[in-house]
Structure 1
């Protein structure tokens, strides 16, 4: 057998590679490049998305709430200019849906219930009249106390100069509440202490010493409440907007012309608060006389368009009423019921 070579296998081969200083040049360059790449990716826009933080979760600029314009949702200043909800102050509730108010034309938005006519609303004209805000001393939904007396109404004509009445359920308003003809044409519901009641129309004035609250009834009307022999009874009464009423009419006074005129309203459901003529300078409000005519001393607007306003603020415009003295001309309109 030849010599054993155990010594060669038992002794490790020379380890020159481990005996030298490691060559770190290439790995160091590669590591540096990897680090730079990571840093570059970290600073790229949008690099935070998908990294566990919500997009836009930055403390750079806090949102500023901008006061909303009327009728618009609140907006939040945002670099992306995307509308956001205003801060929540409690459980979320749906915003009410605005419902258009039906055009009621004049005043209290009920003109649509009246017969066809040109009409407009106090609200549309720039002011909103509350219920009965144009009334004088006699206001709707208010009860009054007084006494009822009786007089001989003859054919039912009186200080309001309406002419003969179709029936004699009429009354004269005391001087104070008559208020220079503002009460003319008003419907009043009267109740006696015993429970009897009736509705009368104001066509006359009861002069002093008739006291505030007093109504002087036609003898026929008084008999509906008590024995006419009694002569005087305590009552309560209130303004009424009756369910049945035909169209209104207009009448120019005797002597009216394009140079001077006076006009009155007849058969109105609600008391009249104002009457205006259309002139070259716009609507002109006419003064009301104690004998229930609206006067245009210089003739301005006579024969033109007429605008009538009731105590509830409803306005009706009537055209085609010529200056025909002492002629009742139909207006084909009526105030809505209240």
Structure 2
């Protein structure tokens, strides 16, 4: 408000008639003002009329899409699970690859090189469980006789001796199956092992039960128990993913297993008439379709980084390892 020194003094009220010229002039001004208001571009009063509200610069537009096109809002970035340790921040893209499956009788992966293009390494793993890339875990290593190499992950006998059993907490209902882990001893010596088994209690969180051959590369077997640090790997490999249906599988019930995936597997889905249906994962590392939904149909695999690969042409052939032409990208 202006100060009193800037106010104009109110003129004294004087008697007498108002000149006719003054009345005419006031009426003319009022008419001009009315015409200006009536012909405003927004068709209404300056304050009281209905007007379209213009959004502020940079503000999102809500409501129905206009004739010029529909604005698609970006999807929110997935957040890591609060129950899991934080991973290094970074963005990853989703890649898709489709391949025809071919039948095979051996228990190892076959086929050509990966169908997915290699991507830049990133610590972001939106679908990871307890074990996350970019994190180092403290624990102890023990050893056991792996026998023929089979274990809780149900991969079957193998000649690969660089394997390990994961403690139950980090095994996480077989989510750790197939994961490659870099293990480092206090001496600085390190090895890479693949998780093929579960180590139940008294194994504690962070503990790895290594094959004797793997343990012997870190310390003498007589040491029994040594302190280690370990972390998740996404290794170089020429193998591709293989698919195996469980013994007893048919079009009415089936269990499906993925073998040879470079990165830990987050989910397995089958194509149905209603779209993709996610199958439940068991502790013995098979995904079950109890009612036969999708048995023999296309299979979609998703790793912990969110990358998807689709496999088609895999028939329901119980206990037969069938190779594909797909593999997840390296991180």
TM-score bin, normalised by smaller chain: 0.5 to 0.7
Q: Which runs of no fewer than 5 residues in structure 1 stay unpaired?
A: 1-64, 72-106, 120-128
- Report how far residue 282 of structure 1 moved: 0.8
- TM-score, scaled to structure 2: 0.66
Aligned mates of 2:94, 2:282 — CA distance in 1 = 29
Other structure's SS at 2:170 match: helix
Match of 2:254 among 248, 252, 261: 261
Contact persistence 2:163–2:214 (CA under 8 A): yes
Work out whether residues 111 and 335 of structure 1, in 8 Å CA contact, stay in contact via their aligned partners in 2: no
2:188 corresponds to: 195
Map of 1:108 onto structure 2: 93
User: For residues 281 and 310 of structure 1, what CA distance do their matches in structure 2 show?
Assistant: 23
SS at match of 2:281: coil
Distance 1:315 1:110, change over 3 A: closer
Alignment of 1:228-307 (within 5 A): 228-307=221-300
Aligned partners of 1:245 and 1:267 also within 8 Å? no
* Structure 2: unaligned runs, 5 residues or longer: 1-53, 61-91, 98-112
Equivalents in 1 of 2:171, 2:322: separation in Å? 26
Give the alignment's TM-score, normalised by structure 1.
0.64
Q: What is the match of residue 126 of structure 2?
A: 133
Equivalent pairs counted in the alignment come to 230
1:245 Cα deviation from its structure 2 partner: 4.0
For residues 16-40 of structure 1, the C-alpha deviation after alignment (integer angstroms, 9 at most, x for no partner) is xxxxxxxxxxxxxxxxxxxxxxxxx
The answer to which structure, 1 or 2, has the higher relative contact order (CA under 8 A, 6+ apart) is: 2
1:149 to 124, 133, 142: 142
Poorly superposed stretches of 4+, deviation over 2 Å:
65-71, 107-112, 114-117
Structure 1 residues 155 and 143: alpha-carbon distance in aligned structure 2, compared to 1, 3 A threshold: same
